[in-house]
Structure 1
Amino acid sequence: MTRELPIPPKPTEDRNFDDLADKFEKSIYGGLKGRLRLLVLERDLEALPGDAPARILDAGCGTAVFSAGFAARGREVVACDISETMLARARETFAREAPDAPVSLVCAPMQALTRAEYGGFDLILLHGVLEWMADPEAALDHALTLLNPGGGLSLLFYNRHGLVMRSLMLGNLDKVLRGYLKGWKKSLTPTHPQDPAWMLAWGEARGLTLIRHSGVRCFVDYACERTGHQMTEEDVIEAELMLGRQDPYRGIARYVHLLFKS
């Protein structure tokens, strides 16, 4: 059964999606883009050693489409988000996909959760979150305080290099040359797109073991309209899953997924 948890203080600078919930849900999980995202995540997380994680934190859960799959398999899930609107969508997702699962919802940033109050987790999901945070490094370090020994840390983030490539293809040279890659206020282009090399270096410096490194949408966003009509959705998925673990293709993917083990 779903229960509400205490509300710790909210941050002042991390992006809140109360004003973009409908657009977010449609753009992130709708259609081929959303299908690719979920397929890559599901494939990568199969690499976690041992039994499936018993206790999971979905940090910045949004609509909780991915973590609901764990809940449906009987895993305990704590889902947090600073957006009350998005958390309401998550509540609907869990009620539909895992009505009897042990799920807890908390309207708060992950940075406000402590091990003393919320316990430790075998798997922490930070999917599409870090690129919207004012201080991603501090958030990552805090996540480690909540991660159990041997636990998994799943990071899916908007790739700075993919954004540069897309901007160049659209002719936004001035934007690239000035290094101004932030999206407009009402857009879903993140405020802090991340560099995969920095993320990898962070994990190495913290003594984490990299288990998986994949790109999401390595080429499909760059295919011209004429080419797009010649590709079936299944063909695109097959090619994306193949190229997603190869350089240089994953280096220009719109999103990058890194799975670490503590």
Structure 2
Amino acid sequence: MPDPSPVFGREASSRPSRASLRTAVVWDVLKDALDRRVGTTGKAALDVLDTGGGSGNFAVPVARLGHRVTVVDPSPNALFALERRAAEAGVADLVTGVQGDVRGLFDVVERGAYDAVLCHGVLEYVDDPAEGVRNTVAALRPGGALSLLGAGLGGAVLARALAGHFTEARTALGDPDGRWGAGDPVPRRFTAEQLTGLAEEAGLSVGAVHGVRIFADLVPGVLVDTEPGAAEALLKLEAAAAELSAFHAVATQLHVLAEKPA
């Protein structure tokens, strides 16, 4: 079966793409979790649910591993793009797109039917993040894994400060939702403790927490694009720092991997 990593722009013959710098940590953790689940269940093909999966940035690579993926997304345009991307990747038979959202998840999918659930970039936009996590957990089979990715509070504060917007940085730091002002396009941000708390309150056992885009969003693009070896070195730096809790506080995104009791 083909290695799905080229979807993330990580071909061996070229430098990592901007997309891979932002997704590589999550992808590596997710792939390992799926491999472990295969070993535990003895099933070659898992059932994976991607809530808010959009055009398939993760769903298509997961399908290229041979797993069956259901993507739930409220946008018809995103689902159309998903269908096209899956067809181009040769996995149209393994990817199903369904219009819906995490709040009404069980209007469109079955409870307890999935070996893994992806909830990436969803909790920032729902009215009740705790309800969203509970629904994703209810979609899991016993022993299933939840991949949870949310916007990080510390990364936003640091980014606003480095851009010279000190008042906005302070506003975000003190705001209950981590917003820097009325023009902030992100409705809600999280600390690592908040995300892990949501998972644990929903009955999951947290296995790992990773900082994502710790440096990638702060390093000038011209440096990464022009300096020989810079992209590869930055990718390795992101991976090395991802598990260190000291860097979680400044990550643009936070990733939590948790499991449902067997």
Fold-level match, TM-score > 0.5? yes
TM-score normalised per structure 2: 0.78
Are the equivalent residues in 2 in contact too, given 1:215–1:250 (CA < 8 A)?
yes
From 66, 72, 83, the equivalent of 1:74 is 66
Are the equivalent residues in 2 in contact too, given 1:71–1:98 (CA < 8 A)?
no
Secondary structure of 2:243 counterpart: coil
**1:194-224 deviations in whole A, cap 9, x for unaligned?**
2221111222233322222111111232235
From 101, 119, 122, the equivalent of 2:115 is 122
Deviation for aligned residue 1:146: 0.9
From 87, 91, 94, the equivalent of 1:95 is 87
Deviation for aligned residue 1:151: 0.4
Return 33-42 or 104-113, whichever deviates more: 33-42
Q: Assess, with a 3 A threshold, how the Cα gap between structure 1 residues 105 and 243 changes in structure 2: closer, same or farther.
A: same
Q: Percent of pairs identical after alignment?
A: 23
Give the aligned partner of residue 250 of structure 1.
248
Give the aligned partner of residue 144 of structure 1.
137
Report matched runs for 1:85-234 at 5 Å.
Answer: 85-114=77-106, 118-119=110-111, 120-178=113-171, 179=175, 180-181=179-180, 184=183, 189-223=185-219, 230=227, 232-234=230-232
Secondary structure of 1:141 counterpart: helix
**1:126-177 deviations in whole A, cap 9, x for unaligned?**
1122112222121111111111110000011110111011111112222233
Quote the Cα distance in structure 1 between the aligned partners of 2:115 and 2:220.
Answer: 42
Are the equivalent residues in 1 in contact too, given 2:114–2:139 (CA < 8 A)?
yes
**AA aligned opposite 1:144:** V
Quote the Cα distance in structure 2 between the aligned partners of 1:182 and 1:126.
Answer: 26
Return 175-184 or 48-57, whichever deviates more: 175-184
**AA aligned opposite 2:167:** D
Are the equivalent residues in 1 in contact too, given 2:170–2:180 (CA < 8 A)?
no
Secondary structure of 1:110 counterpart: coil
Quote the Cα distance in structure 2 between the aligned partners of 1:117 and 1:226.
Answer: 44
Are the equivalent residues in 1 in contact too, given 2:223–2:230 (CA < 8 A)?
no
Secondary structure of 1:191 counterpart: coil
From 238, 241, 244, the equivalent of 1:240 is 238
User: What residue ranges of structure 2 are gaps of 5+ in the alignment?
Assistant: 1-15, 39-43
Are the equivalent residues in 2 in contact too, given 1:182–1:192 (CA < 8 A)?
no
Quote the Cα distance in structure 2 between the aligned partners of 1:80 and 1:196.
Answer: 25
From 33, 36, 52, the equivalent of 2:21 is 36
TM-score normalised per structure 1: 0.78
Are the equivalent residues in 2 in contact too, given 1:56–1:122 (CA < 8 A)?
yes
Deviation for aligned residue 1:117: 5.1
Are the equivalent residues in 2 in contact too, given 1:111–1:143 (CA < 8 A)?
no
